[in-house]
A and B are shown apart, each in its own frame.
Chain A
Amino acid sequence: MKIAVCVKEVPDAGPNRRIDPGTLRMDRSGDRSLNAYDLHAVEQAIRLKDAAGDGEVVLVSMGAAKALESLRKGLAMGADRALLVSDDAAAGSDLVATSKVLAKALEAESPDLVLFGQQATDGDGAVLWAAVADRLQFPVVSQISELEVSGDTITAKRQTEHGYDTIRAALPAVLAVADSLNEPRYPSLKGIMGAKKKPQDTKALADIGLDASEAGDAGSRTTVLGLGEPPSRGETIKIEDEGDAAQKILDFLVERKLV
């Protein structure tokens, strides 16, 4: 079983996350790591490969060249190799462009399964898999909280606004997994040491057969027109617990006559 996992390097959450007001793009200069939701997809891929007894887990990503550092976390967990599509002409890609690049890279890999995380914490789109699946012409199931693979079919359970659906699909398929599907393992020391030696390819757009005009701003169909101030929620208090947090919560409620 060959499993491709789409993973993304994202800026760490916290107050320093911002959109660059000059370029109107995500500021990616600060601390970054592998999108935490994608670890669940990596974990599931490794488990499926282990259960099948053979196969390969390939991480596929589009991002800046330095994103390889973040991909190493997936390799340390147990993925076999990483493929990063990185090109200055791909910066600023929206959904149309990103899905085109990933689908093209995935096509060349011909995997049995393509796994996605449930959302990227920088864009919170939770849509990319559907676009990639359409380009690959694979069936797609998203928000998967339970998954079973048997022969050429997968059976998945997922939550919607109306309860739970169980969906069966034929392989090859695109699957987006929810964070509840599994608990991602921590890489072992051996895994971390071994990760550096695993194959890690960086390819430019031309290497995967795409023209520069198909990605980045040129290949995108959406645009950010301007930034505004977010509505303020008023004063917020943030404290470290020094043994008195419970008392402070109670005082806070009592002052506002809420208990």
Chain B
Amino acid sequence: MSTLVFLEHHGSAIQKGALGVLSKAASLDPDTAGVLVGSGVRDLAAQAGQYGAKTVYVADDPSLASPLPQPRVDVLAALVRDKGLQNVLFGASVLASDVAGGLSARLDAGLNWDMNDLEVRDGALVGKRSALGDTVRADVGWTAEPRLGLIRAGSFEATQSGGDPAVEDVPVSLEGFSTKAELVEHTQEESTGPSIEDADILVTGGRGLGGPEGFAPLEELAAALGGAVASTRAVVDSGWYPYPTQIGQTGKVVSPKVYIGFGVSGAIQHKVGMQTSQVIIAVNKDGNAPIFEFSDLGVVGDLNTVVPQLTALVKERKGS
């Protein structure tokens, strides 16, 4: 076999998810390489060697500075064709998903996503994934090469196996349409206040709150419980609550003793950030909401009645 792992980097670090996939790939296939695509990324190659890459391909060019997918598809497509690589694996992210999707079309190559384990069966890669909000598990395969795969965040530990990789430059030649999108600005909100990762009890508000004003009652409940308030992407994107409180794939991964979701639907990208909570409680007016599939206690009801009642009861019990 031969396997290529997409080494997504941010700033001067390769993403932990990508290194986890690299470690796993190297344990299955001694002929595992990594690919770095960006501007000023050559120095990261040694790090990739530490996590198992025998070869690191480097596409280092100013035109690749922005984290946009289509130029990366151009680079990977040429590399995979040129070297006849059989497996191409990605740690899932917003960028990696768009690269993998584009590459799938460019090479007419099958893509399996949301896999959380990999194995080799009869000399070929087989993936394990869950589906339908994790209510189903399936073994998935490919009917042709190359085989493309996206691995769910957090599936594999990044483990150092040591190694001094061969570093090989790859040519950069971009399609006209790949340069028609450009990054104008990147912003990052700094966290202030207590971190949601440290709280034992997280009271989480979703779009069901109806607006930013819905968070005040949740803050009162969280204060009564001695917990913190967390949120979903939908409400953060809408500007109702700050980004540092967001749980999920593009937010924080939390593991509190108690998670209580109010007006949260339980989308898979939210679930991956809170599924290891000790106890999950959900209040949602839609009895079919996916969150009920993984709640220890599910309440089909209106948060506008449950929240104030619960706050009053908790205060009463604590005698305040």
A residues in contact (CB < 8 Å) with B: 12-15, 17-19, 24, 94-96, 99-100, 103, 119, 122-135, 137-143, 145, 155, 158-170, 173, 178-181, 220-231, 233-241, 245-250, 252-254, 256, 258-259
Contacts and interface: CB of A to CB of B under 8 A. Distances in A.
Interface in B183-212: 183-189, 201, 207
Nearest to A240: B300
A129 B225 contact: no
B260 interface: yes
Contacts of B312: 246
B29 to A, nearest CB: 19
Interface of chain A, main secondary structure: mixed
B234 interface: yes
A57 B213 CA distance: 35
A226 B301 CA distance: 37
Interface string B287-318: 11110111111111110011001101110011
A161 B279 CA distance: 26
A221 B94 contact: no
Contacts, number: 295
Interface stretch (B34-42, B46-54, B97-105, B163-171): B97-105
Given A96-B108, A168-B182, A222-B111, A241 B300 contact: yes
Interface in B225-276: 225, 233-238, 243, 249-250, 257-258, 260, 267-268
Contacts of B175: 137
A227 to B, nearest CB: 5
Nearest to A154: B181
Contacts of B184: 155, 166-168
Closest 7 CB pairs between A and B?
A241-B301, A221-B110, A130-B101, A180-B237, A163-B188, A246-B309, A127-B101
Contact of B101 (A129, A137, A221): A129
B127 to A, nearest CB: 9
A134 B313 contact: no
B154 interface: no
B182 to A, nearest CB: 5
A163 B243 contact: yes
Contact of B279 (A14, A18, A250, A256): A256
A125 B143 contact: no
A13 to B, nearest CB: 5
B134 interface: yes
Contacts of B10: 161-162
Contacts of A170: 180-181
Contacts of B104: 95-96, 99, 127, 130-131
Chain B interface helix/strand/loop/mixed: mixed
A205 B71 CA distance: 31
B143 A221 contact: yes
B298 to A, nearest CB: 4
Given A96-B108, A240-B300, A166 B281 contact: no
B299 A241 contact: yes
A135 B105 contact: yes
B2 interface: no
Given A145-B238, A159-B243, 5 more contacts: A130-B101, A140-B102, A221-B108, A225-B141, A241-B300
8 contacts: A14-B287, A134-B102, A139-B178, A142-B98, A165-B67, A222-B141, A223-B141, A241-B305
B126 interface: yes
B130 A246 contact: no
Contact of A164 (B187, B249, B258): B187
Contacts of A234: 296
B250 A161 contact: yes
Contacts of A165: 67, 183, 185-186
B220 interface: no
Interface in B106-155: 106, 108-114, 126, 128, 130-144, 150
A96 B110 contact: yes
B137 A227 contact: yes
